[in-house]
Amino acid sequence: MIFDVMAILKTDGARIQLEGPLTPPSNLQGEGFVFSEDARFSGELENIGGVLELSVCAEGTFTVPCGRCMKITEQRFSVSVHETLVKEGEEVSDPDEVIPFTGTSIDLDAVIWPNVFLALDTKYLCKADCQGLCDRCGTDLNEGPCNCKDDDIDPRLAGLAKLLQ
């Protein structure tokens, strides 16, 4: 969502309430993450001495393969985003802590989505006690045991295995 900041840049201390949909970026969807179209944000943008402070909460749902059994699972996200935006070319004490913008408009999707991705976990499970897949035959162990024999013995312990027979 492109937001025009011309009005807020003219008045120090001006504050605008923001709310709207978040369009899932196609270039940021990866690793199996598929974001639904229900993602939204709400919050405010404030001008503090010519520097814009963005504080919003982004929420929505996405689907991702389970980290153990690979079944698609739906997950929710809720991320608080706090960013400082400055007009490109402005003098700042720490340029790594701000997001520069040009002109009089800001692409809020480009500011919010990277924060969402950084807040997500690297692995999601379909349920807390997911058994996953058999590492030999690929059977989903949530649906029942597989027929694989558990006869892999560490060669260092092969002598002990003979004693147990």
The pLDDT tens digits of the residues spanning 46-99 come to: 999 888 999 999 999 999 999 999 999 999 999 999 999 988 777 766 777 788
User: Does residue 4 surpass a pLDDT of 90?
Assistant: no
CA–CA distances in Å: residue 30 to residues 2, 33, 139: 24, 5, 26
Is 148 a member of any domain? no
Distance separating alpha carbons of residues 121 and 89, to the nearest angstrom: 35
Is 94 a member of any domain? yes
Is 102 a member of any domain? yes
Is 34 a member of any domain? yes
Number of domains the chain contains: 1
Please give the pLDDT value at position 29. Answer: 57
User: Does residue 163 surpass a pLDDT of 70?
Assistant: yes
Is 149 a member of any domain? no
Beta-bridged to residue 136, according to DSSP, are none
Is 14 a member of any domain? yes
Beta-bridged to residue 41, according to DSSP, are 20, 58
- Where in the sequence is the domain holding 12, given as residue range(s)? 2-130
Is 135 a member of any domain? no
Is 146 a member of any domain? no
